[in-house]
Structure 1
Amino acid sequence: MFVRIVKMGFQEEKIDEFLSNFEKNKSKIRNFEGCEFLELYRDKHNTNRFFTYSYWKDEESLENYRNSSLFKEVWANTKVLFNEKPEAWSVDKLVSIEY
């Protein structure tokens, strides 16, 4: 398993549109084969900046998603709302501590 982190900044007036699109598609993304976890975060101080954290079975699963019609539709509707270039990282989870 590995984690995909994506940082996105949105035009202030487009945030509701982004959140609506995410709400509409979050279950489809989470239920995509190989996706094991999905969360959306909002920066406390720069409230037009959001982060998605998703856990993937393997890199092939993420690539399958990125090549899917679902991703192409979601990304097409999302990228036009940006106010800055998005950034993405694929990282391996090394430690997780839960109480």
Structure 2
Amino acid sequence: MLVRIVKMRFQEDKIAAFLANFEENKDKIRGFEGNLFLELYQDKNDVCTFFTYSYWENEAALENYRQSALFEGVWRYTKSLFSAKPEAWSVNKLVTLV
């Protein structure tokens, strides 16, 4: 399994547009083949900073999503709202405690 973390910073007046677009597409992203989990976070101290946190079956599943029309449309719109360059990490989960 691969965990993908993406940090995005938005123009403050574009946050509502981002959230509306995320709401419209979240089920499609979560339902994309190979996606196992999806969450969206907002920084407690900086309302303009958001993170997506997703689980993918493997690197190939994430790459298939990144090459899809769904990703192309969502990402093209989302990046038009940024106030800073996004950052992304692909990580391996080592430990989970519940």
Q: Give the TM-score band, short-chain normalised.
A: over 0.9
Q: Tell me the equivalent position of 2:48.
A: 48
Structure 2 spans left out of the alignment, 5+ residues = none
Query: Residues of 1 paired with 2:90 and 2:76: CA distance?
Result: 21
1:13-92 superposed matches below 5 A: 13-92=13-92
SS in 1 for 2:83: coil
Equivalent position amino acid for 2:86 in 1: P
User: Taking structure 1 as the reference length, what is the TM-score of the superposition?
Assistant: 0.98
Q: Which runs of 4+ in 1 moved over 2 A?
A: none
Give the CA deviation at 1:77.
0.7
CA RMSD of aligned residues (A): 0.3
User: Is residue 2:10 matched to residue 1:3?
Assistant: no
Structure 1 spans left out of the alignment, 5+ residues = none
User: Taking structure 2 as the reference length, what is the TM-score of the superposition?
Assistant: 0.99
SS in 2 for 1:33: coil
